[in-house]
Structure 1
Amino acid sequence: MANNDRKEISATIRDVAKAAGVSPATVSRYYSGSSVVGTELSNQIENAAEKLGYIHKYRKRKDRGVIALLLSDLELSFYGDVVKEILEQLSRYRFRLIIIPYSNEESDYKHFITEMNIEGVIYLDENINPDILKYIHSKNIKTIMCGGVSQNDKVESVHVNDLLAAYEGMKYLIQLKHEKILVLSDFENKMDSTFQRLMGCRKALEEYSLQGQEELIAYGKMTYEMGYRLTEKMLKAKKDFTAVFAFSDEMAMGAIKALFANGLEVPRDISVLGFDDIAFAEKYNPPLTTIHQPIKAFVTQCLDFFMNETEHKTLDIMFPFRIIERSTCAENKRV
């Protein structure tokens, strides 16, 4: 007992550092929380301190630190589903979560990044201001894009193969004998997911000799309201189409509402295919046929990424998608 007391009294930060195989500065930073100390080093320090009987007056909690989720808004249900999934999985990883609201024109986010002990950052918007990512990278904070293609080559990405998913979605409608297909798209930007989806659609149309339908592509924000507005605009312009392929489920639902408002039934008169498979898609009336994005797998990969202590090249990880057949697509009877 006396020996243990002497060991406890005599042990210092330097002793813990030597036993853990790290510098005294690293041990000091670990206990003070002044900067991020990785999981592997944290465990080494904790184990060394326990063996030496060292107890710091500000003993560090045995959690893994803070993950920041950057959100510009929750306008899209896809974002809300991702947040819900992060909250459900977070406890298994012993991370804490903060949500940092931001706009591309303001720099308030810097205060949170500077003041909080951030272990990693997740973001969802492909069109985020590149300066935000550069600032986070300058702080040596691991960052990952969830559900889209990062435009920064130093940032990890998890997503589906958007080109192939849109290709298969368009081919699915064509095989249901639809030849005039209205595409509801976000505004495309460089090599982002919208650009990839449009490439996939055009590829399928070309393979079936149905190219030259650019007048049936309508652009706008991927919201319910925009889906309604764009579909109604096409109907009033007397555009001929027998199916709608929307690049978000909200857009697809807005399109269905506009079709019903104009006396058209889904899928009897017009088929509608969505993209995302948000939680509400199967509860919608009629239940939405859509392309499933594996949100649960996206989130697991993001959180696993922050657990990985090893250095590696920036990864671009693609997960499988699938078409979920429900009640909004049917064979075209007008051919």
Structure 2
Amino acid sequence: MNPTIKDVANYANVSIATVSRILNSTSAGYSEKTRELVMEAIEQLGYKPNAVARGLKNTRTQTIGVLFPDISGMVSSELLHGIEKVTHNLGHSVIVCNTASQGKKTLDYLKLLSEKRVEGILFASEEIKDEYYEAIKGMNIPAVLVSTKSHKHPLPYVKVDDRDAAYTATSYLIEKGHKNIGMISGIKQDPIAGSPRIEGFQAAMRDQLGNDSPVVVSAQGFSYEHGVEMFEKLIKAAPHTTAIFAASDEMAIGAMASAYHMNIKVPDDISVVGYDNLKISEMAIPPLTTLSQPLREMGEKATELLFEALTDKNSTQSSIIMPHQMIERESVKAMA
């Protein structure tokens, strides 16, 4: 059975009120010797104060909520590393919600976070629908978007420019001498990682090669399995393709696996570029050339923005576009 605040008071031979004042850092009503006795009792008993119960008295729970559409995804994992680093350093806790990109589930989690009285919200990698925004607005707490943005709702965000980044990745392949370039995309209607990356790919093909209708095949997600499926579809539609730009590293590695089973060698027969620069891209065979977005740093910056709003209610927050860069490895062959 976990020790209670009453156990601590009895061990230190002080009142429960005194223990409470010390736990809440109230300066009056006890001596330094008494504080030391209470802290020793806490250590000896292994007492852990209930953060929510303390928050009910302080009107602060020292907790923020984070919503991800897929907590098992590697992108979410990298973002969460950055979020937790800053949150932990500032003495707060994180409640992580896996919305699975479902509207009702997202609203249910927002309601739960409101009941838990979180102090702020980070909303990651998902489109902000009207009902989400109204729910957040009704909570009267700050919110910051990370790896997503809203054209309609005035919420600060931290992300890369996906259209510009896709343009950079496609330009890289063109600079390597490729002309027959296809794209493997996730959900093309997705305004976050779908349509902007397709638009960037198409713009580079149009601007630099005069190709107004490059081949794009779109899946219902951005996973390894979708990459396997879409590679086969793209090769059937455009058998003379010499290079592929994939809208995620997981899709790119799925495409390389599919190529292996079809006896198509990467990069000798076909070059592949990914998007994200996840840890797994270094482990692929061959190691994957990819467009890097600084996911951990994005998580850190978004969390810092959120805490700025928590500490200064009058602060005006600006959104942040993070830099991207090409990471060259071994999955791209230069054409003669």
What SS does the corresponding residue of 2:205 show, helix, strand or coil? helix
Quick one: percent identity of the two aligned structures?
26
Greater shift, 204-213 or 219-228, is seen at 204-213
Q: Spell out the pairing of 1:228-247 with structure 2 (5 A cutoff).
A: 228-247=228-247
1:147 aligned to 2:144? no
Paired with 1:118 and 1:328, the residues of 2 have a C-alpha distance of 44
Q: CA deviation at 1:112?
A: 1.3
Hey, what does 2:225 align to over in structure 1?
A: 225
1:322 to 2:322 alignment: no
The alignment's TM-score, normalised by the length of structure 1, stands at: 0.77
**What's the secondary structure of 1:82's corresponding residue?**
helix
2:83 counterpart residue number: 86
Q: Secondary structure at the match of 1:105?
A: helix
Structure 1 residue matching 2:282: 3-state secondary structure:
coil
Give the partner amino acid of 1:116: K
Query: Within 1, Cα distance between the matches of 2:321 and 2:126?
Result: 16
Question: Tell me, which stretches of 5 or more residues in structure 1 are unaligned?
Answer: 1-30, 32-44
More displaced stretch, 73-82 vs 94-103: 73-82
Q: Per the alignment, in what secondary structure is the counterpart of residue 108 of structure 1?
A: helix
Cα offset, 1:286, TM superposition: 1.5
Structure 2 matches for 1:185-204, cutoff 5 A? 185-189=185-189, 192-204=192-204
Q: How far has the Cα of 1:165 moved from its partner? A: 1.1
Deviations 1:221-273 (A, max 9, x none): 11111111011122234532100101100010011111111111111111100
Q: Which amino acid aligns with 1:65?
A: Q
Cα 1:315–1:239, aligned 2, differ >3 Å: closer, same or farther?
farther
| Aligned counterparts of 1:304 and 1:228: Cα–Cα separation in 2 | 38
Alignment-derived partner of residue 161 in structure 1: 161
CA 1:239 to 1:223, structure 2 compared with 1: closer, same or farther past 3 Å?
Answer: same
Aligned pair partner of 1:73 in 28, 51, 70: 70
The AA in structure 1 aligned to 2:63 is: V
**Distance (Å, rounded) in 1 between the aligned partners of 2:61 and 2:302:** 14
Alignment of 1:282 onto 2:282: yes
* CA deviation profile, 1:159-212 (whole Å, cap 9, x unmatched): 112222111111100011110111111223485443222222222212223312
> 1:287: how far off?
1.1
Q: How many residues align?
A: 284
State the shift of 1:83 in Å: 2.1
Q: Distance in 1 between matches of 2:86 and 2:181?
A: 39
Provide Cα deviations, 1:113-149, integer angstroms capped at 9, x if missing partner: 2321211111223335431232012111211221122
Amino acid at match of 1:91: H
- Other-structure match for 1:27: none
* 1:292 to 2:292 alignment: yes
Change (3 A) 1:189 1:210: same
Q: Counterparts of 2:83 and 2:54 in 1: how far apart (Å)?
A: 28
| CA distance in structure 1 between the partners assigned to 2:72 and 2:247 by the alignment | 15
Paired residue type of 1:245: F
C-alpha distance 179-54 of structure 1, shift in aligned 2 (>3 A): farther
Contact 2:71–2:98 under 8 Å retained in 1? no
Query: How far off its partner does 1:100 sit?
Result: 2.1
Q: CA deviation at 1:92?
A: 0.8
